[in-house]
């Protein structure tokens, strides 16, 4: 592995990365099982990038069934030092309108029952990683300045609340999350961020808003609405990533 040692984990709406010239595909088996998909080793603007489809390719693995440990372990094995995680989210607070992109700086984890740590078996000592700042400040800054270069407006902070899914939330759950301080709601941010930190890999996320969260608008949230907003949001995300890589 040379150069950037950068990986992009694509979520709903980003199963493939436009413009990525595919050089190789690496299936990897890990001590924790099989990752979501083969790792795509590619080139974007003559820089090496590794791409992983979080929900598989085709997109069939629901958030609570993703093997987050295998996904992160495989990236570590490939020599990855930085991960940009792209994830569809619901917008809770007023700045987080559909099709908008946010670069969250905090997380609250409401998920449960997921394999969420590498530090549980065959230990020589009990390990507690520091998780005060779950995302890499340096990587976030670079993403924010790449967005400015690409003339894409992003919200540079925000608290991401991770729910279990696959169902969307109730209006009362979203009200509680808002009281807790969440700006965004998604289903895949955890344990992914913590596992990356356990492996010492810098990790930052782009939350692409697919819909107003439950109870924030009249009526039900439809898949059609989600797809339409993601279409625009992911086009901007691809431009932002290109600007990030070109810098
Ligand atoms: N809730 C949780 N995850 C999501 C949502 C949502 O409203 N939209 C896209 N991912």
Asked if pLDDT for residue 15 goes beyond 90, the answer is no
What mean pLDDT is predicted for residues 100-122?
A: 96
Q: Say what angle helices 223-246 and 137-149 make with each other, to 10 degrees.
A: 100
To the nearest whole number, what is the mean pLDDT of the chain? 94
Q: Does any ligand 1 atom lie closer than 6 A to the CB of residue 213?
A: yes
In tens, the pLDDT along 72-95 reads: 999 999 999 999 999 999 999 999
Asked if pLDDT for residue 102 goes beyond 70, the answer is yes
Nearest-atom index, ligand 1, CA of 87: 10
In tens, the pLDDT along 148-183 reads: 999 999 999 999 999 999 999 999 999 999 999 999
Task: Give the span between the Cα atoms of 62 and 69, in whole angstroms.
Answer: 15
Asked if pLDDT for residue 3 goes beyond 70, the answer is no
Give distance in angstroms: CA of 24 to centre of ligand 1.
32
pTM, 2 dp = 0.95
Task: Give the span between the Cα atoms of 55 and 61, in whole angstroms.
Answer: 5
Give distance in angstroms: CA of 182 to centre of ligand 1.
13
pLDDT of 106 reads 98
Q: pLDDT grade, residue 128 (50/70/90)?
A: very high
Query: In sequence order, what E strands does the chain have?
Result: 6-10, 21-26, 39-44, 47-53, 82-91, 101-102, 106-109, 154-155, 159-162, 184-186, 202-212
pLDDT of 19 reads 82
Give distance in angstroms: CA of 149 to centre of ligand 1.
28
Cis geometry, peptide bond prior to residue 166 (ω within 30 degrees of 0): yes
Nearest-atom index, ligand 1, CA of 91: 7
pLDDT of 70 reads 98
Q: Does any ligand 1 atom lie closer than 6 A to the CB of residue 211?
A: yes
Asked if pLDDT for residue 1 goes beyond 70, the answer is no
pLDDT of 45 reads 83
CB 166 within 8 A of CB 64: yes
In tens, the pLDDT along 197-228 reads: 999 999 999 999 999 999 999 989 999 999 99
Q: pLDDT grade, residue 18 (50/70/90)?
A: confident
Asked if pLDDT for residue 241 goes beyond 70, the answer is yes
Q: Does any ligand 1 atom lie closer than 6 A to the CB of residue 89?
A: yes
This complex has an ipTM of 0.99
Domains in the chain and their CATH numbers? 6-246 (3.40.50.1580)
């Amino acid at each position: 592995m040379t150069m950037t040692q950068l990986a992009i984990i694509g979520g709903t709406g980003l199963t493939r990365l436009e413009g990525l010239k595919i050089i190789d595909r690496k299936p990897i088996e890990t001590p924790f099982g099989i990752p979501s998909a083969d790792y795509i080793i590619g080139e974007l603007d003559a820089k090496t990038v590794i791409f992983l489809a979080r929900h598989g390719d085709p997109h069939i693995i629901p958030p609570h069934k993703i093997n987050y440990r295998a996904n992160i372990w495989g990236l570590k094995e490939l020599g990855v030092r930085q991960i940009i995680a792209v994830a569809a989210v619901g917008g809770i607070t007023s700045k987080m309108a559909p099709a908008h992109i946010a670069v969250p700086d905090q997380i609250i984890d409401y998920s449960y029952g997921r394999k969420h740590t590498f530090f549980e078996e065959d230990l020589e000592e009990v390990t507690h990683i520091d998780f005060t700042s779950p995302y890499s400040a340096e990587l976030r800054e670079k993403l924010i300045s790449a967005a400015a270069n690409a003339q894409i407006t992003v919200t540079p902070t925000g608290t991401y609340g991770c729910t279990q899914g696959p169902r969307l939330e109730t209006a009362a759950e979203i009200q509680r999350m808002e009281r807790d301080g969440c700006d965004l709601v998604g289903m895949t941010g955890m344990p992914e961020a913590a596992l990356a930190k356990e492996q010492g890999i810098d990790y930052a996320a782009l939350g692409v808003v697919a819909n107003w969260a439950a109870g924030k608008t009249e009526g039900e949230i439809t898949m059609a609405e989600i797809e339409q907003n993601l279409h625009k949001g992911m086009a901007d995300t691809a431009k932002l990533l290109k600007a990030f890589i070109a810098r």
